[in-house]
Amino acid sequence: MVRNPERRAALVDAAIEVLARDGARGLTFRAVDAAAEVPGGTASNYFTSRDDLLAQVTGQIHQRIAPDPDEVAEVMAAPRNQALVADLMRWINRRVTENRTGYLAMLELRLEATRRPELRAELTQVMRATLDENLSFHLEHGLPGGPTAVTLMYLAMTGLMLEQLTLPGVVPAEETDGLITALVDRTIGPEGSPSNSE
């Protein structure tokens, strides 16, 4: 059977929607077919197993939540200082709200990975690559703060995203901007540090 790449992509996107809405237990071929509005049995023609489908979602979700390069260029037009780092963190935080489904699906994948060693290995590779990209971006653009500061901000922002996606009342939205500013100030330091330092 000839498989249509656009149909496959639509099925993966539908799987992301199902994963975010119903969790990993709700991710079935039947649910994906319904979400993609295709005839029953379509997903099973494109994916050999549920594990295959999860692997495809893992590969696609990173692209789905990645920022548009033009948006990045616009944000990066500002002077390369500590204020820009805080603006970048606030921008990332807003993107979580704007693409809630993609980030919820990523959380579901993380939980499912605790039970599936193959998925854990694949998702670990994807997320480590994401952290490495963040480190490279920060250093290559001459932003203040070294690798340790970037890693600490990544971990803190991941925690903030978790709260906002699952229990938004824990950290009210009106407090996040100030908390992000404090995070950057305390992680990098009051004067900022050269990008090649820790």
**Higher pLDDT among residues 3 and 58, named by residue:** 58
Q: For residue 59, what pLDDT is reported?
A: 83
Q: For residue 52, what pLDDT is reported?
A: 92
Rounded Cα distance, 47 and 33, in Å? 12
Q: For residue 9, what pLDDT is reported?
A: 92
Which distant-in-sequence residues (6+ apart) come within 8 Å of 2 by Cβ? none
Q: For residue 119, what pLDDT is reported?
A: 92
Q: What is the pLDDT of residues 60-104, one digit of tens each?
A: 887 888 888 888 888 899 999 999 999 999 998 988 888 999 999
Q: Which tokens go with 54?
A: 């999860």
> pTM, whole model, 2 decimals?
0.85
Rounded Cα distance, 152 and 100, in Å? 23
Q: What is the pLDDT of residues 111-148, one digit of tens each?
A: 999 999 999 999 999 899 989 999 999 999 999 999 99
Share of the chain above pLDDT 90, in %: 75
Q: For residue 192, what pLDDT is reported?
A: 53
Q: Is a pLDDT exceeding 80 seen at residue 193?
A: no
